[in-house]
């Protein structure tokens, strides 16, 4: 059971990291060329859709391209060896929880650093917008966050929640 759990966690980390990296490298131009849609799911990375529906001037687009280019140079490279190490730990004969925790924390810290860099860039991009564009962005954000709340309420309870709620009712 532990091995299965470790495999699921490792797979989720790999997929989450890969999709977050792919979504973060989407430029404003790519968003507009794709009809305002970026790759990836809004539930995985809601910030990747931050500027959807905002009409940008050519000057603003250029400034945002420059910011994204600068962020690409600041972002640390993905350490493929960490994914390989995680795979080796997950498929090992003996489960080494301490090693998995250490590696998972290292990988999580790298994702935190990447999120900080991208959040700084998005903040700079936000401040390039006019007050009217900022108002549109806020309205779009509120609509999307309400959609996410509805989706969260529609999800069935996990088996653990179902077990704990039935055992507490007895």
- The DSSP secondary structure of 17-81, one letter per residue, reads HHHHHHHHT--HHHHHHTTT--SS-TTT-GGGGTTTT----HHHHHHHHHHHHHHHHHSPPP-HH
What is the fold, at CATH topology level, of the domain defined by 1-36+54-129? 1.20.120
Compute the distance between CA of residue 140 and CA of residue 124 in angstroms, rounded to an integer.
18
pLDDT at 79 (0 to 100): 86
Q: What's the chain's average pLDDT?
A: 76
Among 2-11, 30-39, 89-98, the least confident range: 30-39
Q: What is the pTM of this model?
A: 0.58
Residue 74 has pLDDT above 90, yes or no: no
Domain locations in the chain as residue ranges:
1-36+54-129, 131-170
Residue 14 has pLDDT above 80, yes or no: no
The band of 78, judged by pLDDT with boundaries at 50, 70 and 90, is confident
pLDDT at 51 (0 to 100): 83
- Give me the numbers of helices (H) and strands (E) for the chain, helices first please: 7, 0
Q: What 3-state DSSP class applies to 155?
A: coil
101-124 residue pLDDT tens = 999 999 999 999 999 999 999 999
> Chain-centre distance of CA 114, in angstroms?
10
Compute the distance between CA of residue 75 and CA of residue 63 in angstroms, rounded to an integer.
18
């Amino acid at each position: 059971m532990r091995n299965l759990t470790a495999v699921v966690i490792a797979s989720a980390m790999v997929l989450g990291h890969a999709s977050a990296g792919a979504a973060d490298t989407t430029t404003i131009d790519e968003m507009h060329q794709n009809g305002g849609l970026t790759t990836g799911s809004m539930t995985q990375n809601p910030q990747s859709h931050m500027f959807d529906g905002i009409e940008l001037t050519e000057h603003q687009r250029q400034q945002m391209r420059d910011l994204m280019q600068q962020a690409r140079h600041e972002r640390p490279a993905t350490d493929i060896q960490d994914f390989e190490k995680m795979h080796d730990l997950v498929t090992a004969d003996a489960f080494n929880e301490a090693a998995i925790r250490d590696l998972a924390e290292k990988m999580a810290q790298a994702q935190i650093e990447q999120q900080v860099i991208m959040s700084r860039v998005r903040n700079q991009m936000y401040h390039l917008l006019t007050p009217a564009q900022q108002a549109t962005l806020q309205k779009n954000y509120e609509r999307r966050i309400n959609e996410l709340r509805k989706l969260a309420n529609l999800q069935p309870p996990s088996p653990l929640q179902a077990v704990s709620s039935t055992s507490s009712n007895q």
